[in-house]
Every structure is written in C-alpha cells, then in structure tokens.
Amino acid sequence: MVSSSRKEWGRHRRLLKNPDVKRWYDNITGGSEVTADVRLRRLGVYCENTNTAPKKLAEIGIRDVRKVEDILLDYASFLEKKR
C-alpha cells in the first residue's frame, strides 16, 4: 500500500512534463535528489493552492526577483499561521 504522503508526492511529478520545470528539477538534482524532490513538491503545492502555473511564477521572477521572493515568503508565513 502506498502512503498518502507518497501519493501526494506522485501528483506533483506531472509538473515534470513541462520542459522548463524538468530542466529546473534536473539542475537541482545534480546537487541533491532529495532537495529537488522537496522543491518540486513545494512548487506543486503552491501552484495548486494558488491556482498559478509554474510559468506564471517564473515570469513574475524574471520581471522582479524581489516580488517573487516576497510572494513565496508571504505564502510560507500564511501556511505557518494556518497550522
């Protein structure tokens, strides 16, 4: 039987069908596969919960790195308060 956390992880693997996400993931995997998996899962959760495509998040970061950092930090704070 597959644990629920493993099922959740599996649903984010679909993001790897996007060549840009796959390139990003592969780049991180060169340093640490565990880190790459965690970051992919976090990206997937963020995108699901905010109804945002990874490409949209990247576009914001290209225009203004600080803005995307703020968006992600605010989201992390939101999740912490939700606990």
Mean pLDDT (whole number) for 24-52: 91
- In the prediction, which pLDDT does 64 show? 95
Confidence of residue 8 (pLDDT cuts 50, 70, 90): low
Residue 4 is predicted with a pLDDT of 45
pLDDT at 77 over 70: yes
Three-class SS of the chain:
CCCHHHHHHHHHHHHHHCHHHHHHHHHHHCCCHHHHHHHHHHHHHHHHHHCCCHHHHHHHHHHCHHHHHHHHHHHHHHHHHHC
Q: Which of 64, 47, 53 is nearest to 20 (CA)?
A: 53
pLDDT, residue 11, reads 84
